[in-house]
Amino acid sequence: MTRCAIHHAAAMAAVHAIAFPDDPWSESSFSRLLGQPGVAGLIDERGGIVMLRCIADEAEILTLGVASPRLGIGLALMQAAIAQAKSQGAATLHLEVAESNTAACALYKQLGFKQTGRRQKYYDNGGDALVLSLNTG
């Protein structure tokens, strides 16, 4: 697991394009994000990325994706993101997930995230987003 610097932007975009083929983020988007205050990116060399933003005592996951599913990479990335949020002073970590995303919902449940909100018809396909939160302990 490596903390990302700007030079990781291309590798991050490559993983994102595999994990989110319908909505890939560009290398320049990752560069821009990595330059913003409070934003941290982590890359798993096996093929996975997570980005989070910490502001005061709250943090949010901006994106999480793996190139090869079911190898434990997503879990490792989220555990690292929780530790990163805590180290940046965040007591609570939030994220949004499509209610229909069974893989991600199961992962977050396993980590102890609880539903704290719902955004009706949040996605283009009319699906709802769930807002999940975790006390970083």
- Other Cβ atoms less than 10 A from the Cβ of 60: the count is 19
Q: Write down the least CB distance from residue 20 to ligand COA, Å.
A: 6
Give the C-alpha separation, 33 to 135, whole Å: 24
Q: What is the contact surface with ligand COA in residues (CB under 6 A)?
A: 19-20, 64-66, 69-75, 97, 101-104, 106-107, 110
Q: Write down the least CB distance from residue 80 to ligand COA, Å.
A: 12
Contact status, residue 118 vs residue 128, Cβ threshold 8 Å: yes
Q: Write down the least CB distance from residue 134 to ligand COA, Å.
A: 13
Query: Which C-beta is closer to ligand COA: that of 37 or that of 102?
Result: 102
Give the C-alpha separation, 125 to 75, whole Å: 27
Query: Which C-beta is closer to ligand COA: that of 37 or that of 45?
Result: 45
- Closest CB to ligand COA: residue number: 74
Give the strand order in the sheet containing 114-119.
2-3, 39-44, 48-55, 58-66, 92-98, 129-135, 114-119
Residue 108 half-sphere exposure toward CB, CA atoms < 13 A: 24
Query: Which C-beta is closer to ligand COA: that of 9 or that of 132?
Result: 132
Query: Which C-beta is closer to ligand COA: that of 7 or that of 70?
Result: 70
Q: Write down the least CB distance from residue 132 to ligand COA, Å.
A: 9
